Structure 1
Amino acid sequence: MTGQYNSEIDLGFARLDVDRAERTGDPEVVFGGVKTPGQVVTALRTLHQAHPDLPVLATRLTDETIALCRRELPGVQVDAVGRTAVLGAARPAHGRVAVVCAGTADLPVVRECAVTVAAFGSRPETIADVGVAGIHRLLAQRDRIASCDVVVAVAGMEAALPSVLGGLVGAPIIAVPTSVGYGWHMDGLTAWLAMLNSCAPGVLTVNVDNGFGAGVAAARIARRMGG
């Protein structure tokens, strides 16, 4: 594309795509995992200036980056568990996303997902510690989960949660395998393969620990369905 879709801001260490919100409805997101704390703060501040009416998001932040964001960015909302930072006012929420996890060990991925869902314009409802080892807990939440437009199912170990949910609710299910488990779970590969091979229809799978990717997809689906 040329013309109206080629505006960028060159920060030296990164070129920010400030037209992305016009093309997709969502601003560019800062991946903080390979950036210095100062670079993350600069990128967030610049994106916020370019999109003053939308929240801008940074993910995979180190403790040092989180501390600097709190010092340098007034009004920033930090989630230390999910390692995220959001700068800017919340946007109107359309639709609802159930972010369901098997165990509390999955909470970093859950929090990354829930923050992303909110930043991308839907309302997350977190339902934690409902893994199949205590399936009565999941069944007790079935109606609440089924009332949402999209379900994100986060699980490690043998990753049975998405398949079970696929037989309980009719909403689209986005499965997120996590690198959590006893013994040799191969950094989440076991969970990923289990989710890819789910026997339940309507289950889609993202990469290991990718709460961000699941959150973006879920929010975009939910806000279309939620009006």
Structure 2
Amino acid sequence: MTEDLGFARLDLQREQRTGDPEVVFGAGKTPQQIAELLSVLHDAHPDRAVMATRLSPEAAAHCRAQLPDAEVDDLAGVAVVGRYPQPKGSVTIVAAGTSDLPVVRECAVTVRVFGAAVDTVLDVGVAGLHRLLDQRDRIGRADVVVAVAGMEAALPSVLGGLIGAPLIAVPTSVGYGWHMDGLAAWLSVLNSCAPGVLGVNVDNGFGAGVAAARIARRAATPRGSRS
């Protein structure tokens, strides 16, 4: 079943197929379109949260004005309408630096919308390795770890040698000079020498959050109860 709004066709059966509703990708859409899409999604899924990502400042302000119940995170560029699911499993997001916060926040909100608990460990990049080592036990308790890093993106490889949890790396477009909009970080992730490091695209906190939450949910669900 789809909802034809003239400018978009909402997939209202996605939750039945995958366990999660469709998400509105805000880039390229008008603020009015985004608010309308969120409203229709919420009406179709009144018992759980729905979200929009990649909101411009104008779109975020419009959602805040038109959807009084919306939770809008300006730094992350996301808006959420509805009640978060009861969390199953845990995800810890580890950030190399404060400059990575927009991606971290996008990932954290996504994890909550997709039904897992989230913890964030901030500013533990490898330039001060002692800061990361101080948090190793906390990080290692998670069902899934997401490592967010720009520059040369060494953090995921270091974490891959410290913990045994599933590890998703998010390279970011943060760095001095010609870091090629995150390509340097992405190549570091792709060529990680640590086994078990999986990567998503540059700045894709949303994609990492979806994957991490689904893995965490599975880890917390008895095998016979999985659908």
Task: Sort the TM-score into its range (normalised by shorter chain).
Answer: over 0.9
Match of 1:221 in 2: 215
- Deviations 1:154-194 (Å, cap 9, x if unpaired)? 00111000000001000010000000001110110000000
CA drift of 1:152 comes to 0.3
Structure 1 residue identity aligned to 2:26: G
Residue number among 54, 62, 65 corresponding to 1:68 in the alignment: 62
Aligned 1:32-71 pairs, distance under 5 A: 32-71=26-65
Structure 1 residue identity aligned to 2:177: G
Moved more, 70-79 or 211-220: 70-79
Count of matched residue pairs = 221
SS at match of 2:40: helix
CA drift of 1:226 comes to 1.8
TM-score norm. by structure 2 comes to 0.96
Match of 2:75 in 1: 81
Aligned 1:69-148 pairs, distance under 5 A: 69-148=63-142
Distance 1:74 1:184 in 2: 42
Distance 2:120 2:7 in 1: 35
Distance 2:167 2:136 in 1: 14
- Deviations 1:5-30 (Å, cap 9, x if unpaired)? xx000011100000000000000000
- Deviations 1:25-63 (Å, cap 9, x if unpaired)? 000000001100000000000000001011001000011
Give runs of ≥4 in structure 1 deviating > 3 Å.
none
SS at match of 1:57: strand
- Unaligned 5+ runs, structure 2: 222-227
Match of 1:4 in 2: none
SS at match of 1:200: coil
Match of 1:161 in 2: 155
Moved more, 55-64 or 71-80: 71-80
Structure 1 residue identity aligned to 2:76: G
CA drift of 1:75 comes to 1.3
Distance 1:183 1:15 in 2: 41
Match of 2:224 in 1: none
CA drift of 1:74 comes to 2.1
